[in-house]
Chains A and B, each alone.
Chain A
Amino acid sequence: MIVLHEMLELFQQHRGKAIVIPGRGNRQWHEISTLPSRDLPLGDPAMGGHAGFALGLAMAMPGEKVVLFDSEGDLQMSLGVLAMVAEHKPGNFYHFLLDNECYATTGGQPVPNAARVAYDQFAKAAGYPSVHAYTNLESLSLDMGRILAAPGPTFVAMKIVPEIENRPMGQRPPRLLRSREQVIAGFRGEFGIAG
């Protein structure tokens, strides 16, 4: 199992100027990121949609690397998105999956068939040209630079130590430090996108 914060610190060393959609990893990522105007922390607009959002963004901005930290609970809701990505094959898209085998924000209940789903094989069967799977940081650290240097779309499944949240919603720290409007306005400003 991989500690999320350590994995994100490793990724940061290789990020370059990639756009990052931190998904459910945002609480840790915002402490690590050095390019917040290229981050898109959106919280949880509607479960299962992050990969579709990232695909749309990657297709809209083919000159920029787009990195998504998806979760296995989200992906189980929208497995068809893997075929969508594989159809268009955006070479700038890097799809990392945080697989902690549970719904951590609702108390740690297991996702369906939690420990036995091979998400990298889903991606491979859908048509991703490049797939990887890691259960420890040491192996991932040997490959991270090469993964991000190669063209996408690439799928990277990672077994992550669950950080289970049990406090009532009202007692938890805010998931987003900036509103979605601020995040998107800042992002579009960074790239000179009107509107």
Chain B
Amino acid sequence: MTDTQEAHLSPETVLAEMRKNGVSHVVWLPDSETNWLYMLMKAEPTLTLIAVAREGLAFSTAAGLHVGGKTPIILIQNTGMMEAGDSMRGWGMGLNVPVVMLVGYRGWTRHGVTKDTAAVYTERFLNAFGISYYLVENDRDASRISVAFEEARRTRRPVAVLVGDEYHGFNS
């Protein structure tokens, strides 16, 4: 494996984590960076995809799925997560929904100054709600997704996985 490959989070790895944790429904708002994952999820017979019209609807829809006995995952971008704050509070935390949200970390960088305000406010936003989060940058971090699922189940709260490889991993 080359350094370049090691630096990527592959969609196959993300899908494997979903399968491992019994995900039944992916509630999501597509973005251009996750198209490869979309193709794989669409072909996966154990998954039902529910595209939402705005991210706030992801939390209420996931809550309905959970109350009905299913295991949803939410797949959105950090911009949409912030837009969905009140729904996350009311439908996610208020109904004790143990859902993992896989959040594309737009603007995230390890290098230099973070210029994108979407990234500047992402972790501050999660901290304000007291929501745990795990950064996943590449395949070597992918086991953190299972850690997030375990924590969500144990605490009966939403837990975030911040995907810090948004601009290359899913498109590799």
Contacts and interface: CB of A to CB of B under 8 A. Distances in A.
Interface of A: 40, 42, 44-61, 78-81, 83-84, 87-88, 180-181, 184, 187-188, 191, 193-195
Given A46-B94, A59-B25, A60-B67, A80 B61 contact: no
Interface stretch (B34-42, B51-59, B109-117): B51-59
A46 B87 contact: yes
B69 A180 contact: no
Given A46-B56, A78-B54, A80-B52, A56 B65 contact: yes
Interface of B: 25, 27, 48, 50-54, 56-70, 72, 86-87, 89-91, 94-96
Given A45-B90, A53-B91, A180-B94, A191 B64 contact: no
B106 to A, nearest CB: 21
Sorted from nearest, which 9 A-B pairs have the closest CB atoms? A80-B53, A56-B64, A60-B68, A46-B90, A49-B60, A52-B60, A45-B90, A57-B64, A193-B69
B56 A49 contact: yes
B25 A42 contact: no
A48 B56 contact: yes
12 contacts: A46-B90, A46-B91, A48-B57, A49-B57, A53-B60, A56-B60, A56-B63, A56-B64, A57-B68, A59-B65, A81-B53, A194-B69
A191 B56 CA distance: 27
A52 B51 contact: no
